[in-house]
Amino acid sequence: MTIRYETYGTLSENGDNAILVEHALTGDAHLAGYHTPEDKKPGWWEAMVGPGKAFDTNRYFIVCSNIIGGCSGSTGPRSINPDTGRRYNMDFPVITIADMVRAQKRLTDHLGIRKWLCVAGGSMGGMLALQWAISYPDSVNSIIAIATTSRVSPQSIAFNWVGREAIMGDPTWMNGNYEQQPMRGLAIARMLAHITYLSDESMRKKFGRHLQDSTDYSFEFDKDFQVESYLEYQGTRFVERFDADSYLYITRALDYFDISDTAHGDLSQTFANIHMPFMVISFSSDWLFPAYQSQELVKALLKCGIDTTYCNIESSYGHDAFLLETETLGSLITSFLTNRYVEVKA
């Protein structure tokens, strides 16, 4: 199994400063900075990672690991199956968030890290962080779970279902055995998901009913409104960088995520044997993983006597706020991590 990862900063001699940052659904290991001077964009959480930033590389050793099932350098459905010499495609096993964490545990051992100072992530990355606390409580000193949930809701499952139907309904998908991406289906899945990452309010602010290229309605079916151009652009860019089969596997892993499952639905039972501090952060306009879902999580943590910091950040950016509200988020993470680091040093 291959796991792509990147590291930032330096591991301390006693290994007490290592932080694992988890990426979201379509993210990757390229957390911050540029690989080459030609790169148009830095890593996906550039504002949060670097010298003096929240994930301060002067102080901490930051690891960002791609997930299994992904398509950004780690083993996934498009990898070669050594048994057949051909791509797995849909023969790849259905994976869960717990499987992704299990793979990351092997990376952790490989890196010689005995205990993470913190495992942190937003969206699906938050689920990975929560799963770390449950699967390997002795290997984690603290958890930061941002814009996430302890159990994926039927509304999210429904959106994932429709996205997968679009991919699997594209005849160029060929039951997963494509050579060329099922571009149209994957773009539809992405455009749909993208709506759930924004909010009604942010879309009104960003696009309103403004037209893209004209002063009056075209009364045609081609894109007319700015929001239509935006979605089409997002869909087109996405198929250039992400794989359709990976999209199927990772969204399915989300559907199955419910950490109350093994405790017969009782979330506080889930945390019964866990003692590390948590920071939970939600955003007021996030309707994909709404604040009430973070609050359910926080209540269960508090019921278990776990040291829990919670903040619902006022923002109009919707779910995407975890990538955009970097100033507020940065200050919260800075102080949480500083406290954890002081504790560990003590």
Give me the active site residues, please.
123, 286, 319
First-to-final CA distance of the chain: 38
Stated as kind and residue range, the H or E segment containing 226 is helix 226-241
- How would you label 303-329 residue by residue, b for 16+ Cβ within 10 Å and e otherwise? ebebebbbbbbebbbbbbbbbebbeeb
Closer CB to a second copy, residue 91 or residue 307? 91
For residue 283, what are the β-bridge partners? Answer: 313
Smallest distance, Å, CB 248 to a second copy?
Answer: 7
Smallest distance, Å, CB 238 to a second copy?
Answer: 13
Smallest distance, Å, CB 170 to a second copy?
Answer: 7
Closer CB to a second copy, residue 46 or residue 232? 232
Strand 308-313 to 80-81 pairing: unpaired
Closer CB to a second copy, residue 19 or residue 98? 98
Binding positions for a second copy, rule: CB under 8 A: 90, 93-94, 96, 151-155, 157-159, 161-162, 164-166, 168-171, 184-185, 187-188, 191-192, 195, 198, 200, 203-204, 206-209, 217, 219-221, 223-228, 231, 248, 252, 255-256, 258, 287, 290
Angstrom distance (rounded) from CA 331 to CA 335: 6
Tell me the two tokens of residue 34: 């540029």
Closer CB to a second copy, residue 203 or residue 324? 203
Angstrom distance (rounded) from CA 287 to CA 315: 12
Smallest distance, Å, CB 278 to a second copy?
Answer: 23
Instruction: Spell out the residues 6+ positions from residue 90 whose beta carbon is closer than 8 angstroms to its own.
Output: 77, 175, 176, 177, 245
